[in-house]
Structure formats: structure tokens, C-alpha cells
Amino acid sequence: MEKFTIQAQAKEPLGGERSEAVTGVVASGNLEILFERNKDSLVVTVEVMTASHGYKPVWDAVIRDFVERVSPGGMHISIHDNGARPDTVLLRLMQGARLMEAQS
């Protein structure tokens, strides 16, 4: 298991009222993402726990793109990864952000 935390600064806070949301499942080639809200509304924190070792640079790139596309300011994101490919990671992150943006 490899663990690391990636932090980024978003331009805008993520809207919506949900206090937390989960997407995905820890199945082979898949991952589970828990979104919660940070105190600071522009910081994005991503805690990754992954079964595939040695891909931190790819995670950095995926999360950089996600932050650029969605501006998920104020999100504390926790990930349990079971060998998901980058496109799946990005898709789940987008799905999670969409859930958080929902009203109530």
C-alpha cells in the first residue's frame, strides 16, 4: 500500500450543500472516493491510498487537471485505490464533485 497526500490551490470554492459524498467501489481496477469539506474553502487536499506502487507523478497530473477543470476548492478528498487507471480516477473525481454540488 502506498500512501501520500497531494495539496492544491483552487481558484473557486466548490458550490453545493452536501457535506460529504462517496463515489466508486474498491473493486479491481476501480477506486472509492470520499469527498468532505475542508475548513479553508480554496485548498484541495487529496489523500491517496493505492495498491499500485510508483504512480505518484501520474496522480499529481490527474489531480492537477481535475483542479483546473472543476475548481473543487474546499474539498478534502480521500481515495482508496485498487489499481484504477487515470481516466477512471478522473471520471470518479468528476462524479464526486457533481454529487457535492447538489443542493441539500
Cα 69 off chain centre by = 12
Task: Write out the binding residues for another protein, residues 33-52 only, by CB under 8 A.
Answer: 34, 36, 49-52
> Which of 4, 7, 12, 25 lies at the binding interface for another protein (CB under 8 A)?
25
| Burial class of residue 84, CB neighbours in 10 A (0-12, 13-18, 19+) | buried
**Counting contacts by CB under 8 A, is residue 88 touching another protein?**
yes
66 is a site residue for another protein (CB under 8 A): no
**Shortest Å, Cβ 25 to another protein:** 5
Spatial contact of 81 and 50, defined as CB atoms under 8 Å apart:
yes
Told to check if 95 binds another protein by CB under 8 A, we report: yes
In the complex, the smallest distance separating the C-beta of residue 101 from another protein, rounded to whole angstroms, is: 11
Comparing CA positions, the residue from 5, 6, 11, 7 lying closest to residue 68 is 11
